[in-house]
């Protein structure tokens, strides 16, 4: 067993019918889109009726969480620490919940898909976990993807972050 920073093999978000909404793969475990879709369908079929949070599937450790009409998955290697994968899953879910104001459902996910892609990119890069705090990730996604959000719609910390970023940008010009 060799230790590596490359601990995440995939981040997947599917609807309650098993259709892909977001899928980002970080290695060559499933090199083609067809293989990825087959894996996702098989994974969904295995997990859609279970109430556990961790499953060993296709030689991979997968943690997942379902909510209303969505399934959130984090995939790691067979020897990956389940607690670390669960932490990443919680971060992913928490950041999405913050973005969607705790109304985590398929329609709102599609309405905010650009911000949710930013959440995935802020959380994991090339299989390496960069951030494990959902509120920090959500605030970055809001600042980057939601420039048109009014001050009244932002939380105090988000408004402060936005004002600070604007001040830094102005000073650096």
pLDDT in tens, 22-36: 999 998 889 899 999
> How do strand 20-25 and strand 54-57 relate by DSSP bridges?
unpaired
Place of tokens 């969904």: 44
State residue 59's pLDDT score: 87
The dihedral built from the CA positions of residue 151, 100, 63 and 124, taken in this order, carries a sign that is negative
- Give residue 1's pLDDT band: very low, low, confident or very high (50, 70, 90): low
- Give residue 140's pLDDT band: very low, low, confident or very high (50, 70, 90): confident
- Give residue 152's pLDDT band: very low, low, confident or very high (50, 70, 90): low
Q: Which two tokens mark 72?
A: 């959130």
- Give residue 153's pLDDT band: very low, low, confident or very high (50, 70, 90): low
State residue 64's pLDDT score: 94
State residue 86's pLDDT score: 93
State residue 170's pLDDT score: 74
> How do strand 60-67 and strand 128-129 relate by DSSP bridges?
unpaired
CA distance 127 to 85: 12
| Contact present, 34 and 56 (Cβ < 8 Å) | no
Which residues touch 132 (CB under 8 Å, ≥6 apart)? 87, 88, 91, 123
Written out in words, the top-level CATH class of the domain with range 10-172 is alpha beta
pLDDT in tens, 100-110: 888 888 998 89
State residue 22's pLDDT score: 93
State residue 81's pLDDT score: 86
> Strand runs (DSSP E) across 9-133, as ranges?
10-15, 20-25, 54-57, 60-67, 70-77, 124-125, 128-129
- Give residue 151's pLDDT band: very low, low, confident or very high (50, 70, 90): very low
Domain residue extents for the chain? 10-172
Q: Could you give the percent of the chain with pLDDT greater than 90?
A: 35
Question: What are the CB-based long-range contacts (under 8 Å, 24+) for 59-66?
Answer: 60/9, 60/29, 61/85, 63/88, 63/89, 64/89, 65/89, 65/93, 66/16
What is the chain's mean pLDDT, rounded?
A: 84
Q: Which two tokens mark 11?
A: 């981040």
State residue 91's pLDDT score: 93
């Amino acid at each position: 067993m060799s230790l590596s920073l490359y601990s995440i093999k995939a981040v997947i978000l599917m609807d309650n019918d098993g259709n892909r909404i977001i899928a980002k793969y970080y290695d060559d475990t499933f090199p083609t889109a067809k293989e990825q879709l087959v894996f996702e369908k098989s994974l969904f079929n295995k997990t859609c009726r279970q109430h556990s949070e961790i499953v060993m599937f296709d030689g991979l450790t997968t943690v997942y969480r379902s909510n209303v009409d969505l399934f959130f998955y984090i995939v790691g290697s067979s020897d990956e620490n389940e607690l670390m994968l669960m932490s990443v899953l919680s971060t992913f879910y928490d950041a999405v919940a913050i973005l969607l104001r705790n109304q985590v459902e398929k329609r709102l996910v599609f309405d905010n898909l650009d911000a949710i892609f930013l959440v995935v990119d802020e959380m994991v890069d090339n299989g390496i976990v960069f951030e494990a705090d959902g509120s920090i990730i959500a605030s970055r996604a809001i600042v980057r993807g939601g420039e048109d959000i009014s001050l009244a719609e932002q939380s105090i910390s988000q408004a402060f972050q936005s004002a600070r970023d604007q001040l830094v940008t102005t000073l650096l010009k």
